[in-house]
Amino acid sequence: MTEADTKQEAKKVPAWRRKKVGCCIVLGCIILIIVIAVVISVATKHKKHAVGGEFSKDFTVSWAPNHTRLSNHGRRLELFLDPESGSGFKSNNAFLFGSISMDIKLVPADSAGTVTAYYLFSEAANHDELDFEFLGNSSGEPYILQTNVFANGTGEREQRINLWFDPTTDYHRYGVLWNRRQIVFLVDDLPIRVFTNNEDMGMAYPNQQPMRLYSSLWNGDKWATQGGRVKIDWTHAPFIASYQNYHLDACPATDSLAPCASPVANQWWDQPEYQTLSATKQDKLRWVEQNYMVYNYCSDMKRNNGTVPSECTRNSAGFLGLDSLPH
């Protein structure tokens, strides 16, 4: 059939039928629009979380706004430390479970005595807390990343690693994956530490208190660098740590725990593949433990009165380094 023929055919259709066809087209369009809207909303549902946006949307400067600076259209935040003050910020929402991360560039050159703390914290009396603490160092000497886990007010679970890159020349991603079964500390998506749910051993696990994401830059020269022997050299101030590209893919529980604590919440981080470390991830964790760990509370025999805390074997990729680590 040619185009002309088609037009002829159309003309032959009676008026009442054309009207009906018109109605059907309108109805079809409406249904199509609804279907498209539903598909789009389903497709973007898991992207509702805040990704790398403007800091002012999801964070508040909670300490010394006059020692912070926003740049890159509000998508980069810098914290300053000088003799007058350090500074810090926190997320507006508190979260219970999820994946939280941010790209950070640490204080360059002589950062001795400075501490850049980056942590989840619940503000409650018997608080929960997941810590990354970056301990500065003299120019050219390695930063130490100290991690710790507090559950129901109990911490004292420090681990320290050296990083396998210079954290001051580029942004690197630091984050946690936190669900009912485990907490994985990640550096550039490599697991550096895992803390499993050991409630079956009578040990508290962070699963009842929503936590905000915090970060601050402060003077820690009483203890941070070489046990406090190296002090801050203020002639090198201001010290600056930079942040960008945050991901808060987590369940907001600021007002109520219920939706996040519900066992039927069934978020992506509740899926089986996130309940334990895969064999590949275990290998990566073992690589970190064997090559970069410089302190592990698990092997601090003096502190533990000659015992290994019961959770330690579960929380390691098989390397406790009992003999090789400094006490």
Q: How far apart are CA 72 and CA 54, in angstroms?
A: 9
Given candidates 41, 66, 278, 324, which one binds ligand NAG under the rule CB under 6 A? 66
Separation in Å, CA 55 to CA 93, 215, 279: 13, 13, 36
Among 50, 61, 64, 81, binds ligand NAG (CB under 6 A): 64
Surface-to-core class of residue 51, CB atoms within 10 Å of its CB (0-12 exposed, 13-18 middle, 19+ buried): exposed
What is the spatial distance between Cα 165 and Cα 158, in angstroms, rounded to a whole number? Answer: 21
Q: How far is the CB of 265 from ligand NAG (least distance, A)?
A: 20
At its nearest, how many Å lie between ligand NAG and the CB of residue 123? 15
- Give me the 183-222 binding string for ligand NAG, x by CB under 6 A, dash otherwise: ---------------------x------------------
Please tell me whether residue 41 adopts helix, strand or coil conformation. helix
- Asked if 135 interacts with ligand NAG (CB under 6 A), we say yes
Q: Give least dist CB 152 to ligand NAG, A.
A: 4
Residue of 254, 153, 159 lying closest to 205 (CA atoms)? 153
Q: Which residue of this chain has its Cβ atom nearest to ligand NAG in the complex?
A: 141
Place of tokens 């210079």: 166
Q: Which of these segments, 33-41, 138-146, 164-172, 186-194, binds ligand NAG (CB under 6 A)?
A: 138-146
DSSP 183-240: EEEEETTEEEEEEE--GGGT---S-SS-BEEEEEEEE-TTTSSGGGTSPP-GGGPPEE
Active-site residue, from 3, 84, 129, 141: 129
- Residues that contact ligand NAG, how many (by CB under 6 A): 17
The answer to whether 161 contacts ligand NAG (rule: CB under 6 A) is: no
* 155 binding ligand NAG? (CB under 6 A): no
Nearer to ligand NAG, 53 or 142 (CB): 142
Cis amide linkage into residue 238, ω under 30° from 0: yes
| 62 lies in the site for ligand NAG, by CB under 6 A | no
Whichever of 224 and 232 has its CB closer to ligand NAG, that residue is 224
In order of 13, 21, 261, the CA distances from 4 in angstroms are 15, 20, 66
Does 226 engage in binding with ligand NAG (CB under 6 A)?
yes
Closest CA to 257 of 94, 50, 91: 94
Beta-bridge partners for 95: 211, 252
From the list 141, 233, 270, 300, which residue makes contact with ligand NAG (rule: CB under 6 A)? 141
Contact flag: residue 305 with ligand NAG (CB under 6 A):
yes
Terminal alpha carbon distance of the chain: 89
Instruction: Judge whether 133 counts as a catalytic residue.
Output: yes
- Applying CB under 6 A, among 179, 197, 225, 315 the residue interacting with ligand NAG is 225
Q: Is 107 in the site for ligand NAG (CB under 6 A)?
A: no
What does the alpha-carbon distance between residue 176 and residue 148 come to, in Å, rounded to a whole number? Answer: 12
Segment contacting ligand NAG (CB under 6 A): 43-51, 137-145, 261-269, 273-281?
137-145
Of 134 and 246, nearer to ligand NAG (C-beta) is 134
* Residue 308, token pair as written in the block: 């290994």
- Report if residue 152 touches ligand NAG, rule: CB under 6 A: yes
Place of tokens 């973007």: 44
Catalytic residues: 129, 133
Return residues touching ligand NAG (CB under 6 A). Answer: 64, 66, 84-85, 126, 135, 137, 141-142, 144, 152, 204, 224-226, 304-305
